[in-house]
Structures are given as structure tokens and as C-alpha cells.
Amino acid sequence: MAQRLQSETSSGAWLPRTFFIVLLAGTVFLVAMEIINIFRQPSIRSIPGPAAHRFSIYQRSGTRQREAWFFHEPKGNLSPPICFLHVVTASASDDSGPLHWTHDGCLLIGTQRTPRNPASSTVWIYDFTTTTLFSSEPASHQSGIPATHASSASLDRLIQRHGGRGPVALHWYDLGKKENHLFAWRITRWENAIAAIPTESPQPTESALQK
């Protein structure tokens, strides 16, 4: 018996069996991931701006809720994407309005459909050139980076310095719509970026815009 085992080991007879076990385990894992994807329905869409800047929206449209993460990729695939906004779409408390570019395409502007501030509907701004998020309500802003506090008047002045409010980047009702389905092996980059987002919103910082 010992001679037989030694003979099989020396001849490499165990290799096919090990290969089959590894292949079977990998297949089971991929099938399980695809079953999960059927319920999460992950998709990605890219939104180009009037300049060279663009952002990507990674969505998961489950049966109970639809979530969207907004990502900026300043270095493309060479570094992890920056999440500057996470929203649960179609929620009763959501009062988000359309997203606008500035005319120079360097800023993305988040607005409210029913502004709580009569003087301005602008709630937040993401600056693509400095990868900085400015918000008049940083405590309520869910993102992977800390929001820099700025008053509504400061946000409006920043918009004017970049040519004023320009074309619509995205209407809020377009979020959650089904896009091309992503298979499990294509969502690793986005899922890793989501896993790296703090469970609690980062502490807001003070803005030089206030000065």
C-alpha cells in the first residue's frame, strides 16, 4: 500500500484530482456570486461632462431599495475610485433635484427640488480639479470623503467663478433605472471601493470659501 501511494505521488497521479477539486470550488463560488447578482442587479454608467471630466454611477437595484454610488476616477484604473456621494433612491425623505455641471465642466452641482433655503437650491458641489466635496449640510452627506462645510452663498460664488450653472448632468429620476447587467467578475473594483467607505460619515472640515 505504501509503495502504491509512493508510486502515485511520484507519478503525479494526484494532480488531476486536485485540479478537479479546485475547478469545482471555483465554479461553485462563481455560480453563488451570480445568484447574488440576480437580486442586486449591479450596473455601471458613465456620465461625461462638457469638459474632460466625467463621473461613474454604480447602482444596485434590489427588490427592496435602489442604491447608487457616485465615483470619480482621477487616475483611471491606476487608483481606487473616489466616492463623493451615496444615495438610496426613491426614498420618501429624498428631496434631491437635478445635478448640473458648471459651464467650464469642472464642478458638479447637487440641488434640491424644493429648496429649504429660498436664496439658493444648491446643496453640495464636487470639484473635479481638487477632488473636494463642498456641502451646506455636510452632516447629512453620505460619501467616502469628508465634506467641506460651506454656506449656500459661498457655494453660489464658487459656481459663478466657474462660469455659472450649466447643462444638466443627470435628472434624479434617472437613478435606479436598469442598465447593462454586470457579472460578478466585473464588479470587484466597485465593491472594494464601497467596502472602504466609512460606516459613519467623515467629520466635516471648514472651508476656505467662508473667508
| 91-127 tens-digit pLDDT | 555 667 899 999 999 999 998 877 666 667 888 999 9
In this structure, what DSSP letter does residue 183 have?
Answer: P
Grid cell, residue 177, equals 433605472
> Sign of the CA dihedral 61, 67, 73, 77?
negative
Q: Give the tens place of pLDDT for each residue, 157-208.
A: 999 999 999 999 998 878 766 667 776 677 888 889 999 888 766 665 666 5
Beta bridge partners of 86: 69
For 12: left if phi > 0, alpha if psi spans -120 to 50, otherwise beta; the answer is: left
pLDDT digits (tens, 9 = 90+) for 61-81: 765 668 889 999 998 888 889
Q: Specify the DSSP element, H or E, that contains 63.
A: none
* Residues contacting residue 193 through CB under 8 Å, at least 6 positions apart: 69, 71, 80, 81, 83, 144
Could you give the CA distance from residue 141 to residue 66 in angstroms, rounded to a whole number? 17
